[in-house]
Each structure stands twice: as C-alpha cells, then as structure tokens.
Amino acid sequence: MSGERSPKSHAVSWVPIVIIAVATIYILSVPPLTRVVTHPGIRKSDGKWVTIGRPDWLRAYAQPYQWLRENTPLAGVLQRYGEWFGYVVK
C-alpha cells in the first residue's frame, strides 16, 4: 500500500517540532530562573532584596540567551521580556 507512512518517517517529522519547542522553553526559562536564583526572598530592613549574585552555573546556562539578546533581531523582544522579570545583565 503506497498510502501508508513508515514509523521512521513519522518520527522524523516530529524532530523539528521538538527542537523548536526545546529552544522556546529554554529562551522563556532564563529570566524567571535568574530571578528565582538571585532573589531568594530575603529582604533587608530597608526593603531591598538581598542578592547572592549569579552562580557560575547560571552564567553558563544564560550565555546562549545573552548572545541571542545581543546579536539577533530578537534583541528588543528579549530585552523587554527580561525586564519583565527583572533580568539584569551583570
């Protein structure tokens, strides 16, 4: 039967969708993750956040996001999205 697709061709058709989904989830995860890690929820008596800085693993994780933010047409959108979560480049 020529109308049937092999299981292999069906799996190959999902690969681009999975790659795009993983990349999108990564891009959307960097600013909120940075906020959670660098703002542990402790406030000083003057009301300011006590921050621990960025751990090395977070700097490494955010590096591709930072590159996208500085070197692609997505810069404006990623800038605004990051500001929404208080993402500040240090």
- Return d(Cα 63, Cα 89) in angstroms, integer: 11
Positions of E strands within 1-90: none
Query: Do the Cβ atoms of 87 and 28 come closer than 8 Å?
Result: no
**pLDDT at 60 (0 to 100):** 93
Q: What is the pLDDT of residues 38-74, one digit of tens each?
A: 765 565 666 665 556 778 898 999 999 999 999 999 9
User: pTM of this prediction?
Assistant: 0.69
Residue 31 structural domain: 7-84
Residue at 49 is within a domain:
yes
Residue at 2 is within a domain:
no
Residue at 90 is within a domain:
no
- Return d(Cα 59, Cα 70) in angstroms, integer: 15
Count of domains for the chain: 1
